[in-house]
Structure 1
Amino acid sequence: MSSSDGSGTRGPYAKGVQRRKEILDRTLDVVASKGIDGTSLRAIGEAIGVSHAALRHYFDSREALLLEVLRERDAESTRRLDGVDGVLNRMAGAADHNVSVPGLVTMYTTLLATSVEPGNETSRAFFAERFEIARADLAGQLRDELQASGRHSDADLDQVASLIIAAFDGLQVQWLLDRSVDIAGTLRLLERVL
């Protein structure tokens, strides 16, 4: 039996899925307004009207919650940009969206920076896997684009993918410090250079 909303779920499970989504959606607002250092799991719960115990039911730690927000935003970005032609066009589209959500860029950058510190193994594993998947995906897309256009490149496309990711993340940091930095425009320049 399915629910009346057509989701195929019903009862407590559907409510739990919806509640978890609400927590993820609202957490970014809390981080954006209070900063990442001012957001303990308890503070996030209080700000969004969820008990600490209820929040712990869904997420083991603040780090787990924040990383899940990033996972959800990555999936959302992938859906939003599906069908956009060109690797760097998709990345420029992601950049255009990210500048409309500065709290997301701040959270991503902060979590990435702290992932290299001892004691942040969950974040380290998340980002290591995220970069590995992104490099492989980008290199594959670049190969497909070259093949479709009949062009050939002697460049190591895995290294080109690493360069593109480094440019994207570095431009986001520059933008956090100086909002006049044009992330999308610079990525489009990178496409012309490559």
Structure 2
Amino acid sequence: MTEPDPTPPSAPGPARRGRGRPPATGRRDEILDAALAEFAESGVQGTSLAAVGRRVGLSQQGVLHHFPSREALLIAALARRDEVDVRELDGLDETSAVVELAERNARRPEVVRLHSLLTAEGLTGDHPASDYVRDRYARVREQLARTLRGEHGDRLPSGATPDQAAALLTAAMDGIQLQWLYDPDSVDMPVLVGLLTDVLRGAPPESDRS
């Protein structure tokens, strides 16, 4: 659903490392995965660099060697989550991808909760994730609209434009996630997301197909 951050234009050469130490990129990914888990469990304010470091056997200064602040670590961890999703969903058509993403999110409620909280908190404007959330929404809508336009042209069978359908699908997915967080036993995210994609594409629900 989202695109990974582009590679910096002039990445430094490989750093020297001692015997048995993981490569810098591997260590960085370990920190990001640990940070995402810590942020999801403890929230932004409850997460410290020291706590993230303990998860991967580093001191606070060791984490700061890779990321200059907690805010920078937060944004990088969120981008890492998106990058992994994009890579693992690559090759699926857009409808299958969004349903698979909903199934994946149903297995990681802490991450979904973090995303929902940051989306709301980002509205304050001075939140460290504000720019990330705004840019992510723009990327998601653009990617969905581009795919839908390639499949259906300027109008979907339902009559919606690709841009309208992309915005509706993005909004609905966030709303469904909120309902699921409150009552996971009553809200089936993958089924509802799949139904919505059928409606927007003008296709009959799967249960009605012969």
> Alpha-carbon deviation of 1:77?
1.0
Matches within 5 A, 1:40-189: 40-85=48-93, 87-120=94-127, 122-147=128-153, 154-180=159-185, 181-189=187-195
- Provide the TM-score with structure 1 as the length reference: 0.82
Whole-angstrom CA distance in 2 between matches of 1:72 and 1:190: 27
Whole-angstrom CA distance in 2 between matches of 1:154 and 1:73: 34
Q: Could you tell me whether the CA contact under 8 Å between 2:177 and 2:189 is conserved in 1?
A: yes
Aligned to 2:9: none
Aligned residues: 183
Whole-angstrom CA distance in 2 between matches of 1:178 and 1:29: 22
> Alpha-carbon deviation of 1:72?
1.1
> Alpha-carbon deviation of 1:154?
4.4
Q: Could you tell me whether the CA contact under 8 Å between 1:67 and 1:126 is conserved in 2?
A: yes
1:86-144 CA deviation, whole Å, 9 max, x = no partner?
A: x2321110111111122211221122221112421x41111111111111110000011
RMSD value, Cα: 2.5
CA, structure 1 residues 32+22, in 2 after alignment: closer, same or farther (shift >3 Å)?
same
Whole-angstrom CA distance in 2 between matches of 1:174 and 1:88: 21
Whole-angstrom CA distance in 1 between matches of 2:156 and 2:32: 43
Q: Could you tell me whether the CA contact under 8 Å between 2:95 and 2:194 is conserved in 1?
A: yes
Aligned-partner residue type, residue 88 of structure 1: T
> Alpha-carbon deviation of 1:157?
1.6
Whole-angstrom CA distance in 1 between matches of 2:114 and 2:71: 11
SS in 1 for 2:126: coil
Whole-angstrom CA distance in 2 between matches of 1:152 and 1:63: 43
Whole-angstrom CA distance in 2 between matches of 1:62 and 1:168: 28
CA, structure 1 residues 186+152, in 2 after alignment: closer, same or farther (shift >3 Å)?
closer
Aligned to 1:4: none
Q: Could you tell me whether the CA contact under 8 Å between 1:28 and 1:103 is conserved in 2?
A: no
Aligned to 1:31: 39
Q: Which ranges of structure 1 fall in alignment gaps of 5 or more residues? A: 1-7
Structure ranking higher in helix proportion: 1
